[in-house]
Structure 1
Amino acid sequence: MFSDISAPKGGSTLLCRPTEEPAPVFERASPAYNPCSERFGVGERNFNRQYAHIYAARLMQMSPLLKERARRKWGSDVLIRKLCDLQAGEQCCIVGTLFKRMELQPSILKEISEEHNLLPQPPRVKYISDNDELILEDELQRIKLEGKIDRDRCVTGSVIAVFGAERNDGKFTVEDFCTADLPEQSARPALHSDKFVLLVSGLGLGSSRGDSMLGLQLLVDMVTGQLGEQGEQSGAAAISRILMAGNLLSPSTQDKDASTKAKYLTKKTQAGSVEAIRLLDELLLQLVSSVPVDVMPGQYDPSNHTLPQQPLHRCMFPLSSVYPTLQLASNPYQATVEGVRFLGTSGQNIIDIQHYSCMNSHLEILEETLRLRHLAPTAPDTLGCYPFYLKDPFILEECPHVYFSGNAPVFETKRLTGGAGQEILLIAVPAFHRTQTACLVNLRTLQCEPISFSAFSAGDEDDGEMNISH
């Protein structure tokens, strides 16, 4: 039996199983926390604007960065031209936004044809083909690109600088190109003890898989100190925060006809999700009574469909919302924990780039978006987003220390070092309902390791894997 002695306010406490001797009490670490996601808030929600404004704002914000990067790479005297000033045969640099013309790209006309029971297009994992074309656009004109640039790797919406010359046929031959690369990074404070942030995504509540719920309850019990021996409980006390990166609900809670309807006709909140939300509230109640939890929405959660997704409403969590340790966050997410800057999404931006490029690894795409200095370059072309007018909030103005994406097929991590000494931990957080795996990030060392419960069976508690460094 366990008795909950933690309170909604103040510090939290982990409990041990009562024995004949007084059980030790492990105080949980309480690191400084500062949410920094204000830039992803949507105010008036005016959808009457055209999406051309966000492309114009993106190019205007990033042009100075690309010009500076071009001068560092190709020399301070490199000739930087507008498209309207190009002269055939003249070597120069152009800064613009990529547009990738793709004949396999889905269109709304095809979706409407499916409504009328016409022959639908076969679903594809990749929409790239040998007939794709790369076009560079600036404020006034556009030009087709050829030459030394990987067409299949590029995606629409990326702002880059290309170096080369215009041919007599009106096409631009690329000799080299560059991206904005990593932004500047603030110094990470030196910590004297191990403190962990636990990342988990893709809980998939509302599905019929019992093993997924078993693994999830084990994770909750481990974090709250109700699983394992005293050494493991002591290690669990070092988990100072939990971050849930989207897809809290299962796709099965969505409308069964969603896959055959046009996206603008699909209802996001279905009756099947009500029970899943109630179950999520009960799980959160167990967690927030012991540790602060940040909850991000995802593709299948009852939030707005377009990025940035706004926080889930507190009225959906009558049990857990009374605790100040529950933080309902946006997607994308940005916060500072003990001086370590976290930035990430629930994975929609990464999955969309995967469909429209040759890149397959979530980790590879994470690094690519970091070097492009943009969280979601394919928005709004193939990824829905709010029609921002004056500023593109997805541009990275400061380099994070931890950069993650949720709902990946497998766990992956990598330490990336920038040219100016930036150190970034990249994490592909796997979908828990498929992998039974979460991730632990050590704020002191910036190392990440998985915690897996896939080996657990009901007949043998010792089979549960909990690899916690402390």
Structure 2
Amino acid sequence: MFSDLSAQKEGSSLLCRPASEVQGPVFERMPPTYSPCSERYTFKERSFSRQYAHIYAARLMQMRPLLSERAQQKWGSDVLIRKLCDLQTAEQCCIVGTFFKRMDLQPSILKEISEEHNLLPQPARAKFISETDELILEDELQRIKLEGKIDRDKCVTGSIIAIYGAERNDGKFTVEDFCTADLPLQTARPALSSDRFVLLASGLGLGSIHADSMLGLQLLVDMVTGQLGDQGEQSGAATISRVLLAGNLLSPSTQDKDASTKAKYLTKKTQAGSVEAIRLLDELLLQLAASVSVDVMPGQYDPTNYTLPQQPLHRCMFPLSSVYPTLQLVSNPYQANVDGVRFLGTSGQNVSDIQRYSSMDSHLEILEETLRLRHLAPTAPDTLGCYPFYQKDPFILEECPHVYFSGNAPTFESKLIKGADGQEVLLVTVPEFSSTQTACLVNLRTLECEPVRFSAFSADDDEESEMNISH
């Protein structure tokens, strides 16, 4: 791994006597073959006049053949696949449909304005599941309540699934088994002759009122650009072929939430909080882009559209770094091939939303669940904002990635899973750098991942601490 490559070599310590005449070695960074594949997440037209029901219809139409095939593989080729309008009482059959979970605690605009009717507002919650939730399956024409062998709290609205069971006399469907679309087919990875790394980082949080993370962030930039450490560290840094910043580059404190409600004369000739943060980001990207290829994804708090898919940040915001061809401003979700390894990931909004509306707490578990469902954001557009697509749902996974990541997670986690057809996928939850001082290194040759932690003096620490870089 990277830590082995960057181990100190004999005679290369920083404490050694400097050579007077002999020039040190030069470490060449090998540029990777790179091809972006995020065209499906970029807008060709922007029309918000359509209804969101078209997304669910297109999603069901695209995934029904996949789930029908999976149902026949699991329950036999002679299994009956019915639509809800053709159900017969007590008949064992399979239904393919869309989950809808009726939740009493789900936030609603009607509940938010309930104070006007002298009612108590809904308290703030981390999760919105309860014992009174109902799980419903619907297709193009009808819907039916579900009971039986299915975890109601784990399911989320918008998931396409195949269930097996029978309808009871009371009109409810008893589930005996279910299956998801599972992993799509995967293109084989090319065999690389040497270790090459892609560094993943997210949640830089620039512009925060707390500047504790700035030293760690500068250490990260210095490590990638080869200005940190001895020859062993520099030779290891030369194997980092690409840097990917996965959203939330700016801190939420840069968003002036009161600006829209203030009087215009109070906001005249005032500078937005994000201006200085963008300038600082431009300077950091300048240091990185001068040495390595960089992909920059937007996130929840960054200056771009709020709804998914988020469009790339505009180049005019980065006058210093945008002149470098190594800087790529990409969309969220992000998809690209790096040395034949397909990367797919988001800045974390889809995972955080599923966490609030299900019993799953681990970001890694949710990441695997979305891969098994073969859908990036099943809760969009119900509880997660997205563009009203009309004919096709771009969040459906048509090809299995080799690296599937999610940014702005509370902790670093990674897991290598294998599919039924030989697929191998590395799941990575990229932690928020501003709070964890941690980035991730993905080995393109072996599909292994390890964290790189930068710890420094903090204003909150009373005792003396040491600056530490570990990987």
Amino acid at match of 2:379: T
Aligned residue in 2 for 1:464 = 468
Aligned residue in 1 for 2:38 = 37
Q: Which runs of 5+ in 2 are unaligned?
A: 1-13, 263-270
On the 8 A contact 2:248/2:408 being kept in 1, the answer is yes
Aligned residue in 2 for 1:297 = 298
Aligned residue in 1 for 2:105 = 104
On the 8 A contact 1:223/1:236 being kept in 2, the answer is yes
Q: Sort the Cα spacing of 1:457 and 1:464 in 2 relative to 1 into closer, same or farther, 3 A.
A: farther
Q: Sort the Cα spacing of 1:435 and 1:175 in 2 relative to 1 into closer, same or farther, 3 A.
A: same
Shift of 1:256: 4.0
Q: Bigger CA drift: 120-129 or 374-383?
A: 120-129
* Cα shift readout 1:388-438 (whole Å, capped 9, x = no counterpart): 000000000000000000000000000101111110000000000000000
Q: Sort the Cα spacing of 1:354 and 1:258 in 2 relative to 1 into closer, same or farther, 3 A.
A: farther
On the 8 A contact 2:225/2:288 being kept in 1, the answer is yes
Aligned residue in 2 for 1:430 = 431
Q: Sort the Cα spacing of 1:19 and 1:433 in 2 relative to 1 into closer, same or farther, 3 A.
A: farther
Q: Sort the Cα spacing of 1:211 and 1:101 in 2 relative to 1 into closer, same or farther, 3 A.
A: same
Aligned residue in 2 for 1:446 = 447
Aligned residue in 2 for 1:280 = 281
Q: Sort the Cα spacing of 1:230 and 1:117 in 2 relative to 1 into closer, same or farther, 3 A.
A: farther
SS, match of residue 241 in structure 2: strand
On the 8 A contact 2:403/2:427 being kept in 1, the answer is yes
Q: Describe how 1:1-400 pairs up with structure 2 within 5 A.
A: 20=20, 21-113=22-114, 119-257=120-258, 271-400=272-401
Shift of 1:385: 0.2
Aligned residue in 2 for 1:9 = none
> 2: distance between equivalents of 1:18 and 1:339?
41
Amino acid at match of 2:91: E
On the 8 A contact 2:40/2:394 being kept in 1, the answer is yes
> 2: distance between equivalents of 1:453 and 1:413?
19
Q: Sort the Cα spacing of 1:400 and 1:114 in 2 relative to 1 into closer, same or farther, 3 A.
A: farther
Q: Sort the Cα spacing of 1:377 and 1:465 in 2 relative to 1 into closer, same or farther, 3 A.
A: same
* Cα shift readout 1:79-132 (whole Å, capped 9, x = no counterpart): 000100000010100000000000000012233446999743211011000000
> 1: distance between equivalents of 2:250 and 2:384?
20
- The 4+ residue runs of structure 1 with deviation greater than 6 A are 114-118, 258-261
> 2: distance between equivalents of 1:327 and 1:358?
37
Q: Which runs of 5+ in 1 are unaligned?
A: 1-15, 262-269
Amino acid at match of 1:132: D
* Cα shift readout 1:111-167 (whole Å, capped 9, x = no counterpart): 344699974321101100000000001111100111111000000000000000001
On the 8 A contact 2:456/2:466 being kept in 1, the answer is no
Q: Sort the Cα spacing of 1:344 and 1:174 in 2 relative to 1 into closer, same or farther, 3 A.
A: same
SS, match of residue 107 in structure 2: coil
* Cα shift readout 1:355-401 (whole Å, capped 9, x = no counterpart): 00000000000000000000000000000000000000000000000
On the 8 A contact 1:305/1:384 being kept in 2, the answer is yes
Supply the RMSD in Å over aligned alpha carbons: 2.3
SS, match of residue 27 in structure 1: coil
Taking structure 2 as the reference length, the TM-score comes to 0.91
Amino acid at match of 1:303: T
Amino acid at match of 2:468: G
Q: Sort the Cα spacing of 1:93 and 1:274 in 2 relative to 1 into closer, same or farther, 3 A.
A: same
> 2: distance between equivalents of 1:372 and 1:112?
35
> 2: distance between equivalents of 1:226 and 1:411?
25
Shift of 1:211: 2.0
Q: Bigger CA drift: 117-126 or 410-419?
A: 117-126
> 2: distance between equivalents of 1:429 and 1:165?
42
Aligned residue in 2 for 1:12 = none
SS, match of residue 385 in structure 2: coil
On the 8 A contact 2:456/2:465 being kept in 1, the answer is no
Aligned residue in 1 for 2:265 = none
> 2: distance between equivalents of 1:461 and 1:290?
31
> 2: distance between equivalents of 1:257 and 1:329?
30
Aligned residue in 1 for 2:4 = none
> 2: distance between equivalents of 1:357 and 1:107?
17
Shift of 1:329: 0.4
On the 8 A contact 1:200/1:244 being kept in 2, the answer is yes
SS, match of residue 451 in structure 2: strand
SS, match of residue 330 in structure 1: coil
On the 8 A contact 1:95/1:138 being kept in 2, the answer is yes
On the 8 A contact 1:114/1:260 being kept in 2, the answer is no
> 2: distance between equivalents of 1:196 and 1:293?
13
> 2: distance between equivalents of 1:312 and 1:94?
42
Amino acid at match of 1:131: T
Q: Sort the Cα spacing of 1:217 and 1:144 in 2 relative to 1 into closer, same or farther, 3 A.
A: same
On the 8 A contact 1:320/1:326 being kept in 2, the answer is yes
Amino acid at match of 2:376: L
> 2: distance between equivalents of 1:457 and 1:29?
36
On the 8 A contact 2:215/2:456 being kept in 1, the answer is no
> 2: distance between equivalents of 1:309 and 1:415?
28
Shift of 1:465: 1.5
SS, match of residue 442 in structure 2: strand
Shift of 1:278: 0.5
* Cα shift readout 1:215-274 (whole Å, capped 9, x = no counterpart): 00000011111110010000000000000000000011112449999xxxxxxxx81011
SS, match of residue 307 in structure 2: coil
Q: Sort the Cα spacing of 1:89 and 1:32 in 2 relative to 1 into closer, same or farther, 3 A.
A: same
SS, match of residue 453 in structure 1: strand
Identity %: 81
> 2: distance between equivalents of 1:76 and 1:375?
29
> 1: distance between equivalents of 2:383 and 2:231?
50
SS, match of residue 385 in structure 1: coil
SS, match of residue 110 in structure 1: helix
On the 8 A contact 1:456/1:464 being kept in 2, the answer is no
Q: Sort the Cα spacing of 1:102 and 1:219 in 2 relative to 1 into closer, same or farther, 3 A.
A: same
